[in-house]
């Protein structure tokens, strides 16, 4: 992929759930909602403030994020669907899996 988002924008690839069956019923793809979880693929340089300074973004490529239902704009590059959104549309970053407490 050759896309570099500008300023405070990020490129996100949606993470699809693998669950197709609910309570014994199969849910067709057309009836499913789009996932609101994704992986950051690329980030811009940062947001430029009124004073001209660039503030780097909090998210980085590889982060798993949650975003709102109507966030971003859908794009398709080389047959793969991505989203471009502003960093302020990100609701949260999902931290790594379960960590075992040390005794």
What does the chain look like in DSSP terms, one character per residue?
------TTEEEEEE------EETTEEPPGGGSPPPSEEEEEEE-S-EE-TTSPEEPPS--TT-EEEE-TT-SEEEEETTEEEEEEEGGGEEEEEPPS--PPP-
Phi-psi region of 88 (alpha: psi -120 to 50; beta: other; left: phi over 0): alpha
Place of tokens 């947001």: 47
The pLDDT, as a whole number, for residue 30 is 61
For all residues of the chain together, what is the average pLDDT? Answer: 82
- Determine the pLDDT at residue 13: 93
In CATH, what class is 9-92? mainly beta
16-46 pLDDT tens trace = 765 555 566 666 656 556 668 999 999 999 9
Residue 2 confidence (pLDDT): 79
pLDDT at 50 over 80: yes
């Amino acid at each position: 992929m050759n896309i570099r988002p500008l300023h405070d924008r990020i490129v996100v690839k949606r993470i699809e759930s693998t669950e197709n069956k609910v309570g014994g019923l199969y849910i067709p793809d057309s009836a499913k909602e789009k996932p609101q979880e994704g992986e950051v693929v690329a980030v811009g340089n940062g947001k430029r403030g009124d004073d001209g300074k660039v503030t780097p973004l909090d998210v980085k490529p590889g982060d798993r994020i949650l975003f709102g239902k109507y966030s971003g704009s859908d794009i398709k590059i080389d047959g793969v669907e991505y989203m471009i959104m502003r960093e302020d549309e990100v609701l949260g970053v999902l931290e790594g899996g379960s960590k075992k407490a040390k005794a």
